[in-house]
Structure 1
Amino acid sequence: MEHKIYSYGRSINAFAARLLPHEAERLRGLQGVVSVFPSTVRKVVTARSWDFVGLPLSAERNITVESDLIVGLLDTGIDMDNPIFNDKGFGPPPAKWKGSCDKGDNFTGCNNKVIGARYYSNGAAPPYEVVTPADFEGHGTHTASTAAGLAMAGASFYGLGKGTVRGGVPSARIAMYKTCWTLSCTDIDMLAAFDDAIADGVDIMSISIASNTVQTYYTDVLAIGAFHAMRKGILTVCAGGNEGPSYGVVKNNAPWIFTVAASTLDRNFVTEVTLGDGRKFPGSTVINSFSLGRKNYPLTDALRAANKSTPSGSTISNCDAAALDANMVKGKIIQCDFFDPGSAELAISAIKGVGIIFSESSEEVKDHNSPTPIPTTVVTSKQAMIINHYINTTKNPTAVIEKTKIVKQSAPFVGSFSSRGPNPNSNTILKPDIAAPGVNILAGYTRLLSPSGFYSDKRIVNYNFMSGTSMACPHVAGASAYVKSMHPHWSPAAIKSALMTTTTDVVENGLYGGPFAYGAGQMSPSTAVNPGLIYDLGEPDYISFLCNEGLSGSLLGMIVGTGPVKCPNYSKPNYNMNYPSMQYSGQANSTNPTINVVFTRTVTNVGHAKSVYKATVKRVDKGLSVRVVPKTLKFNEVGEKKSYKVLVKTNGTSSVPYWSGLLEWNDSKHRVRSQIVIIDESSPL
């Protein structure tokens, strides 16, 4: 077929081709064709973080096994010149490795640390891009170093966050599959990369990519690829998306995918602006690495600095380049009404302005920050009014923008941008699954782009701060690899269960969410290596799940990849799939004010041979009753399985359209936690 782009034949039986609509329709009707669906465009979703989650560099490690683990990433490429990927002390790649290393500009080749680097440009790379595994965005270098980068002491971003930057499994190998170009990624490229990664021998997949829309399981290439990876014993970890804090927007929701929310560290950034009269305002949103060197600079605002012949359509208050008079800006700090760095920072830098004070449109203080190319800060709208009054009532107004400093904060809480549940695909599976550090994360960065992303910014750094569920995802991928290094034969579901049931609490910060923001809670990798009990799942369980979701025959075959699949005559309801969390959706109304459900679960003892676990239910919302039967589980040997039931009943109304509680099994040595969530369908979120 001359229009064929890819042939996926090693793990996934499919091909990609350029077809006209009528050709696709004709192909869809041919015998033996399971499905035809269009390729969509997706986007990537953008230190002491490992110490913060309790996995210090000194943690117990199985170095021999860890060095044979391969973390595969679908991302924007990798910068091999970053020292965090040097291979000093590494032996040759593991014998199981079957991958390769593509050549390209600005790419020095692979080594014994980064053992593979491929690029896929049939779907996404525009003509002006350099087709190479090299990272021109910084995203892939950042995620790869977070998952498995070397430990680099003394790292910082111009003195901010100084410490040791490293990955969760510093001894593991990295395989980069470049599927994203200028922060866009297409389905056909990602499926090709997935097919290769599975065949290449990776152990953990880290994918910091989310679709723009909710997709069905049978048209979602990440869900399809992850299913085939699961069959080969590979756990796929995915970002949940950056569309929060609204409800119901979380992505990558298949139960065989490990879906990650972004949480904060116990530090935040403040960029103060000090007026000439001594008043200080603690700005946020940006990371200003610049020190102005002297105390006072002339201060003006956009209206005073406006060009008298401003073209029609120029936005003065946003500091639009065409709206400003260079003579009125040179050597001054300028106040702009709205946070619009894309045009203002470049414009003011070009006409020799000293710095910018932006204003947010609300009083909300942002919980994530980005580097700027010139001295910049962002204040609330109320603070901006005070500053503007000072400018217009003072003969010679002055100000100084201080270098950003770090302040302590209560943590962890889920970032405002992190996508929340409930799961838009399945109302019986709680998503996201878990929270991990994803706000203001310092990690490796490409030397092919400035830290601010502006080409006028000529700085080059090895480390940079980035925020997003993209940054949280490789934390969980690294943690999963760490657990796998201690338990090489555990299934993907067992590793996922170990991390989900050993979480710590998340701080509520007043935004939408609860369990829909953080899932099981904040990951705790060092605890997860000894979880006590696990909830295991395999391919038959997931097929049963899909059958209950209404998929059968060819639709089910689209995911499984073996042609039409026959569903079993009976399968337990999906809320009773052996998932580590429990969720049910029902309707309560005036004639039937209660929702009743019985969850059944089976746990496997992976702790001590002789152990007794007792059940406790905690943090139960008003109007929810939870009873566990039996309340005690006695084990006599490792590998023994025990089942239990959780009887849940609502009575009354919740303060939000759902109720939640926490089940904990405890044997005095292990705490095995499961979130319980009941959704009231009659009160939509």
Structure 2
Amino acid sequence: MSSKETKFAFLSCGRHITLFILMISSFAIAAVTGEEDKRFFIVYLGEATRETRELAAQAHLDVLSTLKGREDEARESLVYSYTKSFNAFAAKLSEDEAEELSNMDEVVSVFPNQYHQLHTTKSWDFIGFPQNARRKLEVENEIIVGLLDTGITPQSESFSDKGFGPPPSKWKGTCDHYANFSGCNNKIIGARYFKLDGGPAPGDILSPVDVNGHGTHTSSTLAGNVVPDADLFGLAKGTARGAVPSARVAVYKVCWAGVGCADMDILAAFEAAIHDGVDVISISIGGAAPSYLKDTIAIGSFHAMRKGIVTVASAGNKGPDLGSVANHAPWLVTVAASGIDRQFQSKVELGNGKTVIGVGINAFEPKQKLFLLVSGADVGRNSSVIDARYCSENSMDSAKVKGKLVYCRLSTWGADSVVKGIGGVGAIIESPEYLDTAEIFMAPATIVNASVGDSIDEYIHTTRSPSAVIYRTEEVQAPAPFIASFSSRGPNPGSQRLLKPDIAAPGVDILASYTPMKTLTGLKGDTQYAKFTLMSGTSMACPHVAGIAAYVKSFHPSWSPAAIKSAIITTAKPMSRRMNSEGEFAFGAGQVNPTRALSPGLVYDMDEMNYIQFLCHEGYRGSSLSVLVGPTPINCSSLLPGLGYDTLNYPTMQMSVTTDGQVGVFRRTVTNVGPAQAVYNATIRGPKGVSINVKPMSLSFSRAHQKRSFKVVVRAGPLRSSQMVSGSIIWKSPRHVVRSPVVIYGE
């Protein structure tokens, strides 16, 4: 019997007892896993009183003994005795035994109860990937995920190797002993660092240890163990877990505090990861060179693809500007950041009784009802009024700030640190930017939008003694999903024929493991440390999809990187353009859908020569492609058979349109990975002013892995510059829906 099938019931004794539901802890669930015909039941006997507490445990045994007939069996059945707040016990019983108890004279009724998991950072559950999702644990245990990042925190609970056996036999990597690094185990099976100059690292340590927290966060999001009761200051409380908790982790530290991530270090790490035997590479590092042949992430991931390794990369944090997407090589899976249905808000109560809402993580309870409120612009030192408006360091008069809240306009992060450092209570910060992520503060603080900020400023300057108080942050529900303002957008600066980003995944306020070697803010004077923290960025979205790629690979070990990427893209959940005006340039195919990606029905498969053909069509010379394919000469003219507008067998379609309009021909081939016999019919959804035709409109398959080809002809009228419209082609069978976005935009 699996834990997800475990049931609970509450049996109350006495005629006037009100039943309520409790939840057995997870370790108790595990205690009965595999025991035939047994379930947990909580037997409620009444309220606990001083008189009953001493007798309660024996009373529980007496009830069970009546049922079982023997006290030793009752003791074996008993799991918990609750004797402090109420009088109840938990026991392992069969369904028949529970029914028998419910028929006893002293029992009022029996309520079955499902086992409820506390939610994680919420991201996995939000995208439909619950903790009890179907898994192939033996295969997942052999999956090795490689992360190129800032290192890892081996002592974190997320990377305990309890229950893990030796590393997979295919593993060829190493884990040396380093300063301040406790070493690898059977969960973290590899850890290395790469530093171009090999010299000292001010503010960092020459070892795979993570002093930044970024690498620990991404690693635990991808493959962290299941850790119950994770939270930050009581917020985002739940069970922290990665997509593939049973997988192994290999870490390649390539990013250094105060330095960044050198191209050569990245390339060296790719080489090591490919040699070591990883199955999936996750790289949450931004930036892309103008040419794929000068982009180390593109080059390294191409070589990984040749060895059957999926590389997943972040789309970048330069949104919402169009054309800002990074890591856009066609063999990469490029991930945008979406928000989930929660936000962290702090209420600000002004002295006039008005309440406004700000965002951010503020863990401080106010020490008094109200504090005097001043504007930074009014407490400047001499001629530093302009800087004081932004609460910049050394810009304000400490005597005028001491004991007060300060209203600041946002220039750079850390206004709360500056205010606290000169004796202030905290800060209300006005930001002209989007407020879709929560900053962590080291003093009472919150961020408000411009209109709220203006009202606060007016209140300050029209009131004799303005005052306010900032309350502790609360977690609230919010509309979702949406693409984060910071998430980089298309169109793809590297190719007019390729839609990027590919997919969207949660990347806003994600809770995951953190390092003990850095405070939560990293700001001067901060004393806050935590095992888990909230971070936002496409860096957080990337390991979500890398984990899903590993999850898909655990069910389909023989699938190519292109097939796995296709499965993720074509099963995505469409997102609304009402919330995301840039459409597919913001979210690609849509929100990732992990469980559907296991069974896509059809995949758009490719090998390295498909990508080489694409590069030839993009204008790369064959002689220049040796950086990808080695010394073997490539004759691009022989690889351009005139297949139309697009020569890449990609799951999405994109074309640019001039002021005269455009006709694009897309030829695609799909491989049947669903039932051997299947028929798929095309559904076309075209935007106004665009004609989309598909030939043939039906694809018939008689065996597994059979391939079928089709042609798509897109006729679009003129579009103004940067205008984008979109439609889709959907192949439907009785069991599968295979969706491909079609994007048309004006040059």
TM-score higher than 0.5: yes
Structure-1 residue corresponding to 2:87: none
Deviation at 1:83, TM superposition (A): 1.0
**Over residues 340-382 of structure 1, what are the superposed CA-to-partner deviations in whole Å (9 max), with x where a residue is unaligned?**
333x322222222111011123xx5411122111111111222
* One-letter amino acid matched to 2:736: H
Q: Which moved more, 1:539-548 or 1:522-531?
A: 539-548
**Over residues 470-495 of structure 1, what are the superposed CA-to-partner deviations in whole Å (9 max), with x where a residue is unaligned?**
11110010000000000011000000
2:506 aligned with 1:437 = yes
Change over 3 Å in CA distance of 1:160–1:224 after alignment to 2: same
Q: Does the CA-based 8 Å contact 2:616-2:622 persist in structure 1?
A: no
Q: Which moved more, 1:183-192 or 1:494-503?
A: 183-192
Secondary structure at the aligned position of 2:501 is classed as coil
Structure-2 residue corresponding to 1:672: 738
2: distance between equivalents of 1:585 and 1:300? 53
1: distance between equivalents of 2:157 and 2:673? 39
1:116 aligned to 190, 193, 196, which one? 190
2:380 aligned with 1:380 = no
**Over residues 127-160 of structure 1, what are the superposed CA-to-partner deviations in whole Å (9 max), with x where a residue is unaligned?**
4232111111111001000100011111111111
2:175 aligned with 1:104 = no
2:521 aligned with 1:452 = yes
Q: Does the CA-based 8 Å contact 2:665-2:712 persist in structure 1?
A: yes
* One-letter amino acid matched to 2:399: N
2: distance between equivalents of 1:62 and 1:483? 10
2:526 aligned with 1:463 = no
Matches within 5 A, 1:434-583: 434-508=503-577, 512-562=581-631, 564-567=633-636, 569-571=638-640, 572-573=643-644, 575-583=646-654
2: distance between equivalents of 1:296 and 1:312? 28
Structure-2 residue corresponding to 1:644: 710
Deviation at 1:651, TM superposition (A): 3.4
Deviation at 1:573, TM superposition (A): 4.7
* One-letter amino acid matched to 1:191: L
Secondary structure at the aligned position of 1:50 is classed as helix
**Over residues 24-50 of structure 1, what are the superposed CA-to-partner deviations in whole Å (9 max), with x where a residue is unaligned?**
xxxxxxxxxxxxxxxxxxxxxxx1111
1: distance between equivalents of 2:405 and 2:367? 14
Structure-1 residue corresponding to 2:278: 202
1: distance between equivalents of 2:200 and 2:695? 59
Instruction: Identify unmatched segments of 5+ residues in structure 1.
Output: 1-46
2: distance between equivalents of 1:257 and 1:76? 21
Change over 3 Å in CA distance of 1:345–1:541 after alignment to 2: same
2: distance between equivalents of 1:93 and 1:223? 29
1:153 aligned to 199, 212, 228, which one? 228
**Over residues 561-612 of structure 1, what are the superposed CA-to-partner deviations in whole Å (9 max), with x where a residue is unaligned?**
33543335143356132100011223232xxxx4212211111111111211
Change over 3 Å in CA distance of 1:124–1:522 after alignment to 2: farther
Structure-2 residue corresponding to 1:61: 135
Deviation at 1:628, TM superposition (A): 1.6
Structure-1 residue corresponding to 2:164: 90
2: distance between equivalents of 1:85 and 1:360? 37
1: distance between equivalents of 2:256 and 2:529? 21
Secondary structure at the aligned position of 1:575 is classed as coil
2:412 aligned with 1:340 = yes
Structure-1 residue corresponding to 2:399: 327
Deviation at 1:388, TM superposition (A): 2.1
Secondary structure at the aligned position of 2:151 is classed as coil
**Over residues 377-402 of structure 1, what are the superposed CA-to-partner deviations in whole Å (9 max), with x where a residue is unaligned?**
11122222221222233233221111
Q: Does the CA-based 8 Å contact 2:314-2:336 persist in structure 1?
A: yes
Structure-2 residue corresponding to 1:233: 308
Secondary structure at the aligned position of 2:683 is classed as strand
Secondary structure at the aligned position of 1:210 is classed as coil
Change over 3 Å in CA distance of 1:602–1:79 after alignment to 2: same
1: distance between equivalents of 2:735 and 2:149? 39
Count matched residues: 623
Deviation at 1:613, TM superposition (A): 1.0
Deviation at 1:677, TM superposition (A): 1.2
Change over 3 Å in CA distance of 1:652–1:542 after alignment to 2: closer
Matches within 5 A, 1:277-356: 277-284=352-359, 286-307=360-381, 310=382, 315-342=387-414, 344-356=415-427
* One-letter amino acid matched to 2:652: S
* One-letter amino acid matched to 2:192: R
Structure-2 residue corresponding to 1:190: 266
Instruction: Identify unmatched segments of 5+ residues in structure 2.
Output: 1-120
Change over 3 Å in CA distance of 1:365–1:189 after alignment to 2: closer
1: distance between equivalents of 2:597 and 2:608? 23
Deviation at 1:114, TM superposition (A): 0.7
2:700 aligned with 1:634 = yes
Secondary structure at the aligned position of 2:681 is classed as strand
**Over residues 209-251 of structure 1, what are the superposed CA-to-partner deviations in whole Å (9 max), with x where a residue is unaligned?**
111x543011111111111101110011011111111111111
Structure-2 residue corresponding to 1:217: 292
Structure-2 residue corresponding to 1:395: 464
Deviation at 1:455, TM superposition (A): 4.1
Secondary structure at the aligned position of 2:576 is classed as coil
1: distance between equivalents of 2:404 and 2:199? 41
Structure-2 residue corresponding to 1:38: none
Larger RCO of the pair (alpha carbons < 8 Å, separation 6+): 1
Q: Does the CA-based 8 Å contact 1:357-1:377 persist in structure 2?
A: yes
Deviation at 1:106, TM superposition (A): 2.5
Instruction: Give the aligned CA root-mean-square deviation in angstroms.
Output: 1.9
Q: Which moved more, 1:417-426 or 1:627-636?
A: 627-636
2: distance between equivalents of 1:561 and 1:109? 36
Q: Which moved more, 1:651-660 or 1:519-528?
A: 651-660
Structure-2 residue corresponding to 1:27: none
Secondary structure at the aligned position of 1:569 is classed as helix
Structure-2 residue corresponding to 1:13: none
2:683 aligned to 616, 619, 622, which one? 616
2: distance between equivalents of 1:538 and 1:351? 61
Per the normalisation by structure 1, the TM-score is 0.88
* One-letter amino acid matched to 2:245: P
Query: Kindly, what percent of the aligned residue pairs are identical?
Result: 48
Deviation at 1:460, TM superposition (A): 1.3
* One-letter amino acid matched to 1:180: C
2:125 aligned to 51, 58, 66, which one? 51
Q: Does the CA-based 8 Å contact 1:102-1:132 persist in structure 2?
A: no
* One-letter amino acid matched to 1:348: V
1: distance between equivalents of 2:580 and 2:411? 22
1: distance between equivalents of 2:521 and 2:493? 34
1: distance between equivalents of 2:364 and 2:184? 35
* One-letter amino acid matched to 1:203: D
Per the normalisation by structure 2, the TM-score is 0.81
Q: Does the CA-based 8 Å contact 1:124-1:180 persist in structure 2?
A: no
Deviation at 1:79, TM superposition (A): 0.9
* One-letter amino acid matched to 2:561: P
